[in-house]
Amino acid sequence: MTSPPRSKRDFLRLTDLDRDGLLELLERAAEWKLLGAGGPRPLERMAIGLVFEKASTRTRVSFEVAALQLGGHSTFLSPRDTQLGRGEPIRDTARVLARYLDALVVRTFEHEKLEEIARHARVPVVNALTDASHPCQLLADLLTVAERFGADALQRGGLEVAWVGDGNNMANSWLEACALLGFGLRLACPPGYDPDPALLARAGGRARLVRSPAEAVAGAQVVNTDVWASMGQEAEAAERQRAFAGYIVDERLLAGARADAIVLHCLPAHRGEEISDGVIEGPRSAVFDQAENRLHVQKALLELLLSPR
């Protein structure tokens, strides 16, 4: 491990970047996408720890490949692989891992646990998902929007984004993006499943909470959804299916969006519940470009935190 930076930088929420920093990171991610696997290796000899309490496909693989292509190495740690699973204090694990590793990428349940790790680790800590926020996914989503509508789509104003479904960590991160970039955001959530009210208030008049999916999608360029029951909410699945009845992004709902609208879903998808098979496989779906872009934005993020240009 290299010597720790004098003042390390974490990425726990999207708003850990300011507007200019976010746009610069997305621009750099687009450059990494063009460079592919043969680009520079700014993380040569660096070790990245992936501390995951939640199962993962895209997040784990994209961070592992990002570290490899940047010249670094990743070490995957689940609860059964560490003493965290046997009750070791979080602060002890964080301090020890930071003595071995150059950064910690953490995927956990409570956001407070992530913040505690960041307080005690002397190396950068990255939020790979908590119950409150999923900022790395939002980076990929924003890059996908920029690819489909032009590099200045996030800056020129007029972009309208719709969210349909649970006011979950993804909805919260879209609210943070709205506050930073100023695009229009309408969130259709059933009663009792609203996003964080503080984040909604911070987004100001650009974000609006509605109950009707059709109202949210009307005239939108970007239509988003996610599973109705996230990891850790399996016991609520039946209750949530009743609450979210009618909140499916299908061909009929999508007809109310703009003709050039794209559909995003962070995956995994429950086809036939929150999204129809025809939409996710249809011409407006950007879902698999969105998934690929996880790799490119995370390369830009790791470079920013560990080897700023």
Q: Where are the domains of the chain?
A: 14-133+294-306, 136-291
Mean pLDDT of the chain: 94
Tens digits of per-residue pLDDT, 161-210? 999 999 999 999 999 999 999 999 999 999 999 999 999 999 999 999 99
Overall fold of domain 136-291: Rossmann fold (3.40.50)
- Catalytic annotation, pick one of 13, 60, 107, 148: 107
266 is catalytic: yes
Residues 294-305 have a mean pLDDT of 98
Same fold, 14-133+294-306 and 136-291: yes
From 266, 284, 290, 298, the catalytic residue: 266
Instruction: Summarize pLDDT for 45-80 with one digit per residue, the tens.
Output: 999 999 999 989 999 999 999 999 999 999 999 988
What confidence score (pLDDT) does residue 2 get? 47
The most confident of the ranges 145-154, 170-179, 225-234 is: 170-179
Told to judge if 265 belongs to the known catalytic residues of this protein, a careful annotator would answer no
294 annotated active-site: yes
Catalytic: 309? no
Catalytic residue among 13, 111, 120, 134: 134
Known catalytic membership, residue 137: yes
Pick the CATH number of 14-133+294-306 from 3.30.420.110, 3.40.50.1370, 3.10.129.10, 3.90.78.10: 3.40.50.1370
* Three-class DSSP labels, 202-219: HHHHHEEEECCHHHHHCC
Question: Annotated catalytic residue: which of 102, 294, 296, 298?
Answer: 294
Cα–Cα–Cα angle for 117, 21, 65, nearest 5°? Answer: 60
Tens-digit pLDDT profile for residues 14-52: 999 999 999 999 999 999 999 999 999 999 999 999 999
Concerning whether 289 is annotated as a catalytic residue, the answer is: no
Q: In this structure, are residues 163 and 138 in contact, taking their beta carbons and an 8 Å threshold?
A: no
Whole-number Å distance between alpha carbons of 67 and 73: 6
- Catalytic residue from among 226, 265, 296, 298: 226
Catalytic residue among 69, 137, 221, 290: 137
